[in-house]
């Protein structure tokens, strides 16, 4: 059996309109790259819901953090999942959304997370995690709960 996996990064803003029951739903896909984030604010007017997708498998990966350089001037590093949490918090608590705006969190790449958790325990990223070190369900629930607490809250 041949399996092909492909990934195409989203750049720019893509709008898709599709019929659903008696309505037409408009979905706007905004690129996840940091360079695209400044464009998002223009898409937030008159929004009924936000689907935020975060890779749960990023708990042991890092991204460059140009906004917080090291003392020597070099580029800092930030945990990828924590970066996603910070971004989720900024979006979910944005002033243009109200209590009626549905905020939906979709944690993807669970298959990769399942493989990683065996050799890289979740407490590498979350020191307060006290669940079973190599168990998928409790670890995934812990991450989902941490995201949920960010709506109108502080990152711990």
Residue ranges for the binding site for GTP? 4-10, 29-33, 108-111
Distance of alpha carbon 133 from alpha carbon 110, whole angstroms: 16
Tokens read off for 7: 């990934």
Taking only Cα atoms into account, the Rg of the chain, rounded to an integer number of angstroms, comes to: 17
Closest CA to 117 of 34, 42, 59, 49: 59
Residue 72: HSE in the Cβ half-sphere, 13 Å Cα cutoff: 3
Angstrom distance (rounded) from CA 104 to CA 94:
14
- Strands 23-30 vs 49-55: parallel, antiparallel or unpaired: unpaired
Termini Cα distance of the chain: 45
Q: Which residues are annotated as a binding site for Mg(2+)?
A: 10
Tokens standing for residue 11: 């750049």
Binding-site residues, in ranges, read: 4-10, 29-33, 108-111
């Amino acid at each position: 059996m041949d399996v092909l996996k492909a990934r195409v990064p989203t750049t720019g803003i893509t709008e898709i309109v599709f019929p659903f029951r008696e309505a037409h739903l408009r979905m706007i896909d905004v690129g996840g790259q940091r360079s695209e984030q400044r464009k998002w604010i223009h898409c937030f007017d008159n929004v009924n819901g936000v689907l935020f997708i975060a890779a749960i498998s990023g708990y042991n990966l890092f991204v460059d953090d140009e906004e917080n350089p090291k003392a020597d001037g070099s580029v800092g590093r930030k945990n990828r999942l924590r970066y996603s949490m910070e971004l989720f918090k900024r979006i979910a608590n944005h002033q243009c959304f109200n209590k009626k705006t549905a905020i939906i969190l979709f944690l993807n790449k669970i298959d990769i997370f399942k493989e990683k958790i065996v050799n890289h325990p979740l407490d590498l990223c979350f020191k307060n995690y006290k669940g079973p070190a190599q168990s998928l369900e409790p670890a995934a629930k812990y991450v989902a709960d941490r995201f949920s607490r960010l709506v109108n809250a502080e990152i711990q």
